[in-house]
Chains A and B, each alone.
Chain A
């Protein structure tokens, strides 16, 4: 499998009045050809902003991509001109958004919105594009697509709208499809229909998918590899089996302990109710992430050094990366950390100087 998309050191910050939100703070990952990468995390962990940065859809101002590279087949998307980027969006990389109602334009028919993509990227005539839109709507499992083409988003149910979004995203058979919580607003039965549809489309076209969600069960059933994010950084990355069977990072372990699993026993042997292994505390304030490890305030295995320095994301085994001092002593060399280090060494030096001075003074007084 070759690398299709490579993200290196991506940083997206939002400069608000008086404070800065470091929404994405140094994210590295790769997406291989034909792979499904699941990105999981809670609200505010930066999973959506990562995908928006890849598409260069971050609202600027206040948002700004501060650093990093997004290499798509070797070209850095962050350096492309706007017209060049438009040629990529929808054509090579497309996106499915969470809320199909707010991301479809209410005043245009569904068919028009799909054919727009085709007219722009495939130079189709309007008539041809509409015909193709109908074919695509049929492909995503809508009944009588010829008539649906002329319907407006409000005439469709949530599941059908999401199908229309998928048809739009698939229109140009993109290389990468980013699905940002595509099933969160839907009922389980509709969610299952959409997941099946995406799986079958993937099989047919070989598209790579970045699947962003907070639902671990969906991730388990759908992805090849999983990336867990917390407070703007990747804390663990591994194959789906490794993540669920051998989670290393305390946060991943906590997340897995937090979800009730269907059919599990609910009583302890002594008859008392079994509680979930919830993660204590609440999500960190996005204005002010903790220094050191960002998960330290909620971590059950926290150590003294977790408060001082941020651990680096290191390879533990083949394809399994984790950011935790339990497994490696490597430190993330952030500017803040370097500053602290610098200050510490300066202070140590000063202390040594003072001590020398004192001893020499003592010695001189003795003399």
Chain B
């Protein structure tokens, strides 16, 4: 076992959307467009971005609540396998590109047609090989039984505590549903476990026999957290767990999450739009823009020394709760472009103050850099 818990490679998710209300034509909304992430054991990785940047979709794809269109999600990855699979996938992708080029040729000779057929075969072969290699650790290719077994290791806390708890079930059953399904706790043992969880999340034991509507937003979020803990997972995906809560309750939930992380040895993927909250709770932060990760860094570094122009303008737009702070907010101009029709090249270029010619043509990739601080930018501003 190495210290990487989860590794996401080239995750893609495309949603079909109607071109207009009465149209039969569908367009492709690229919600997540090639995301790579890595989660170390016991750390909290924050994912921030504006609405529509795909951060929630990433979280849901990890649990296969949405079925991703491409990519690999390794749980407990082995470096060897990951490397081999990635190589095969890359070869396959290169061949697929060639295939597409050939297909788009207006006139095809006999040799071309033959090449097409053999290309198709090789691609399928490579994919099969890669899937075969990955099927033990990749959540997206493994079979049903294995997936069910792995699922208990990844749990989720949802954003809206009013919509994510079944109103017909009492708290005891809500929390106990997972352990019952997996048979980890039964009978009196299950009751004891539920009580212990309630205590851990700071709810009274009497809560067990009540229905969700009897609780306030903060308490419901505690129930949601207890439910996520019930199967003692390794990873919890927290999708905006505090954005629906009041300020004073938000602080309680953040404190709870931090103390539970130590108690249960948890790794968090913390998705939120509030930069100060993400900065507070995370060890590392990934900034997303239009379905892509544009910058990843240790959270203190990201704040002290943001390097991607988008991160810079995002930070410049956050007001600070201090009247002495020079709150001259410098937000980026304009709106986030539609992910249905993203700009060519670097998707941030229409709003970027550091734009150069290449930005309009070539999509930048996440570079490798010291201290795990990486950005996807052609012309990073100095500093």
Is A241 touching B51 in the complex (CB atoms < 8 A)?
Answer: no
Q: How far is the CA of A245 from the CA of B277 in the complex (A)?
A: 21
Q: Which residues of A contact B280 (CB under 8 A)?
A: 260, 264, 266, 276
Q: How far is the CA of A240 from the CA of B325 in the complex (A)?
A: 12
A187-B50, A190-B335, A263-B304 known; A276 and B317 CB under 8 Å? no
B4 at the interface (CB under 8 A from A): no
A220-B321, A263-B304, A283-B216 known; A258 and B248 CB under 8 Å? yes
Q: Which residues of A contact B273 (CB under 8 A)?
A: 187-188
Is B247 touching A258 in the complex (CB atoms < 8 A)?
Answer: yes
Q: How far is the CA of A157 from the CA of B248 in the complex (A)?
A: 31
Rounded to whole Å, the gap between the CB of A5 and the closest CB of chain B is 23
Proximity string of chain B (316-357) to chain A, C-beta cutoff 8 Å, 1 when within and 0 when not: 111111111101011110011000000000000000000000
Is B248 touching A279 in the complex (CB atoms < 8 A)?
Answer: yes
A260-B276, A266-B280 known; A220 and B319 CB under 8 Å? yes
Q: How far is the CA of A262 from the CA of B321 in the complex (A)?
A: 9
Is A214 touching B246 in the complex (CB atoms < 8 A)?
Answer: yes
Is B250 touching A263 in the complex (CB atoms < 8 A)?
Answer: no
Q: Which residue on B lies nearest to A216, using beta carbons?
A: B321
Rounded to whole Å, the gap between the CB of B54 and the closest CB of chain A is 14
Is A217 touching B318 in the complex (CB atoms < 8 A)?
Answer: yes
Is A42 touching B331 in the complex (CB atoms < 8 A)?
Answer: no
A4 at the interface (CB under 8 A from B): no
Is A157 touching B250 in the complex (CB atoms < 8 A)?
Answer: no
Partner pick for A189 among B248, B313, B320, B324, CB 8 A cutoff = B313
Q: Which residues of A contact B276 (CB under 8 A)?
A: 217, 259-262
Proximity string of chain B (245-269) to chain A, C-beta cutoff 8 Å, 1 when within and 0 when not: 0111111101100110010000000
Is A193 touching B331 in the complex (CB atoms < 8 A)?
Answer: yes
Q: How far is the CA of A240 from the CA of B303 in the complex (A)?
A: 25
Is A262 touching B247 in the complex (CB atoms < 8 A)?
Answer: no
A105 at the interface (CB under 8 A from B): no
Proximity string of chain A (179-195) to chain B, C-beta cutoff 8 Å, 1 when within and 0 when not: 00000000111111101
Is A260 touching B323 in the complex (CB atoms < 8 A)?
Answer: no
Q: Which residues of A contact B234 (CB under 8 A)?
A: none
Q: How far is the CA of A283 from the CA of B216 in the complex (A)?
A: 9
Stretch at the interface among A15-23, A89-97, A249-257, A302-310: A249-257
* Total interface residues in chain A, CB < 8 Å: 48
Q: How far is the CA of A191 from the CA of B318 in the complex (A)?
A: 9
A218-B319, A262-B320 known; A188 and B219 CB under 8 Å? no
User: Which chain B residues numbered 255 to 301 have a C-beta less than 8 Å away from chain A?
Assistant: 255, 258-259, 262, 273-277, 279-281, 299-300
A159 at the interface (CB under 8 A from B): yes
Q: Which residues of B contact A157 (CB under 8 A)?
A: 335
B175 at the interface (CB under 8 A from A): no
Q: How far is the CA of A159 from the CA of B317 in the complex (A)?
A: 14
Is A254 touching B331 in the complex (CB atoms < 8 A)?
Answer: no
B309 at the interface (CB under 8 A from A): no
A82 at the interface (CB under 8 A from B): no
User: Which chain B residues numbered 203 to 231 have a C-beta less than 8 Å away from chain A?
Assistant: 216, 218-219
Q: Which residues of B contact A278 (CB under 8 A)?
A: 248, 251-252, 254-255
Q: Which residues of B contact A347 (CB under 8 A)?
A: none
Is A220 touching B331 in the complex (CB atoms < 8 A)?
Answer: no
Is B279 touching A262 in the complex (CB atoms < 8 A)?
Answer: yes
Q: How far is the CA of A190 from the CA of B331 in the complex (A)?
A: 7
Q: Which residue on A lies nearest to B259, using beta carbons?
A: A275
Is A282 touching B255 in the complex (CB atoms < 8 A)?
Answer: no
Q: How far is the CA of A217 from the CA of B320 in the complex (A)?
A: 5
Rounded to whole Å, the gap between the CB of B31 and the closest CB of chain A is 16
Q: Which residues of A contact B319 (CB under 8 A)?
A: 192, 195, 215, 217-218, 220-222
Q: Which residues of A contact B324 (CB under 8 A)?
A: 241
Rounded to whole Å, the gap between the CB of B332 and the closest CB of chain A is 6
Rounded to whole Å, the gap between the CB of B351 and the closest CB of chain A is 9
Rounded to whole Å, the gap between the CB of B99 and the closest CB of chain A is 38
A277 at the interface (CB under 8 A from B): yes
B32 at the interface (CB under 8 A from A): no
Q: Which residues of B contact A42 (CB under 8 A)?
A: 246-249
Partner pick for B247 among A159, A188, A214, A240, CB 8 A cutoff = A214
Q: Which residue on A lies nearest to B329, using beta carbons?
A: A192
Proximity string of chain A (221-235) to chain B, C-beta cutoff 8 Å, 1 when within and 0 when not: 110000000000000
A122 at the interface (CB under 8 A from B): no
Can you identify 30 A-B contacts, CB atoms within 8 angstroms?
Answer: A42-B246, A42-B248, A188-B275, A188-B314, A189-B313, A189-B317, A189-B331, A189-B332, A195-B329, A196-B331, A215-B319, A216-B321, A217-B318, A217-B319, A220-B320, A221-B320, A221-B323, A221-B325, A221-B329, A222-B319, A240-B323, A254-B248, A258-B248, A259-B247, A273-B258, A275-B258, A278-B251, A279-B248, A280-B252, A283-B248
Q: Other CB < 8 Å A-B pairs besides A191-B331, A220-B320, A262-B279, 19 of them?
A: A160-B335, A188-B331, A190-B50, A192-B316, A192-B331, A214-B246, A216-B247, A220-B321, A220-B322, A259-B251, A260-B276, A261-B322, A262-B276, A263-B300, A266-B280, A275-B255, A275-B259, A279-B251, A282-B249
